[in-house]
Amino acid sequence: MIVGEQKPISEIKEIIAPYKKILILGCGTCVKTCFAGGEDEVAVLASALRLACKKDGKEIEIEEFTVERQCEDEFIREGAPAISRNEGVLSLACGAGVQALARRFVKIPILPGVNTTFIGVLEKQGVFTEECSGCGDCMLAIFGGICPFTRCAKKLLNGPCGGSQNGKCEVNPETDCAWQLIIERLKILGQMDNLRAYVPPKNWQTGLSGGPRKLVREDHII
């Protein structure tokens, strides 16, 4: 899932400042799971903003609506009437959702209310960790299922750096050293030989280095 965090209220207030009538549009998929922009979060934000604006003597009308996903037309369409009624839309979807809306509702300002951060998993209720950086060339098979590109702060392919201390990363003592994890996992899998094998430089052409990527599946296009 995509993980994100709602922007601070102070920043959101500034973003919506020019508008008197806004729609806060939530998304029921990824951002709902990480408590950034689902229906509940839309309600809380709307309420908080109303209180804030009232206190500041700013006039504002806030409408609330949530669609299943903001990255697909099928669902975005459901929000169309609400969108057209308002001067601006504060979208609580991830960056992709915000842009999908902006593409389709060209005449209405679509504003981001969430900072999209990473592709990750729910480690436990309330805790989300980054796992994948979308490099386009997955090598999890040789690393025991743990990604060093994403989880090593230096994207090292051939083992830990000298800063790995007590199994923790030098950058953040609360972060596990990915290589420590890989070594332990390979030990359990009986694949310690993988550690001896030289891993050549990564081909970054499949990654973001080449600009925005596109996937076209002809077999699904009529």
Partner 1 sequence: MNMKASGKLQEILSKGEFAVTAECGPPRGANAEVVRKKGELLKGYVDAVNVTDNQTAIVRMSSIAACTHLLQMGLEPVMQMVVRDRNRIALQSDIMGAYSLGITNILCLSGDHQSFGSQPDALNVFDIDSMNLIRTVQTMREQGKDMSGFELNEPPAMFIGAAANPFADPFEYRVIRLAKKIDAGADFIQTQCIYNIDRFKEWMKMAREEGLTEKVHILGGVTPLKSAGMAKFMNNKVAGMDVPESLIKRIAGVPKEKAVKEGLKICQETIAQLRETKGVHGIHIMAIEWEEIVGEIVEGAGLTPRP
Partner 2 sequence: MTENFKPKITLFHCINAFGDADELSLTDMNNCEIQTVKMACSSMVKDVFLLKAFEAGSDGVVVLVCPEGQCRYVEGNIRAKKRVAWVRNLLDEIGLDGRRLALGNMAAGDKTAAAQIINDVLKNLAELGPNPAV
- The nearer residue to partner 2, 54 or 103, going by C-beta atoms, is 54
Q: Given CA atoms 169, 128, 90, 57 in this order, what sign does their dihedral have?
A: negative
Q: Which of 81, 126, 190, 200 binds partner 1 (CB under 8 A)?
A: 200
Q: Given CA atoms 154, 158, 163, 164 in this order, what sign does their dihedral have?
A: positive
- The nearer residue to partner 1, 127 or 197, going by C-beta atoms, is 197
52 belongs to the binding site for partner 2 (CB under 8 A): yes
Binding span for partner 2 by CB under 8 A among 53-61, 93-101, 138-146, 167-175: 53-61
- The nearer residue to partner 1, 49 or 146, going by C-beta atoms, is 146
Query: Measured between alpha carbons, how far is 92 from 27 in angstroms, rounded to an integer?
Result: 7
Look up residue 140 and give its two tokens. Answer: 């999890």
What's the min distance (Å) between Cβ of 75 and partner 2? 23
Binding partner selected for residue 54 from partner 2, partner 1, none, CB under the kind-specific 5 to 8 Å limit:
partner 2
Pairing of strands 110-112, 88-91: parallel
Query: Measured between alpha carbons, how far is 184 from 165 in angstroms, rounded to an integer?
Result: 15
Binding mask 113-152 for partner 1 (x = CB under 8 A): ----------------------------------------
17 belongs to the binding site for partner 2 (CB under 8 A): no
Alpha-helical regions (H) of the chain: 9-16, 30-33, 39-56, 73-84, 95-104, 148-151, 178-189
- The nearer residue to partner 2, 50 or 213, going by C-beta atoms, is 50
203 belongs to the binding site for partner 1 (CB under 8 A): no
Cβ burial of 14 (10 Å; 0-12, 13-18, 19+) is exposed
- The nearer residue to partner 1, 33 or 175, going by C-beta atoms, is 175
Query: Measured between alpha carbons, how far is 68 from 46 in angstroms, rounded to an integer?
Result: 19
195 belongs to the binding site for partner 1 (CB under 8 A): yes
Q: Give contact residues for partner 2 (rule: CB under 8 A).
A: 8-10, 40, 43-44, 47-52, 54-56
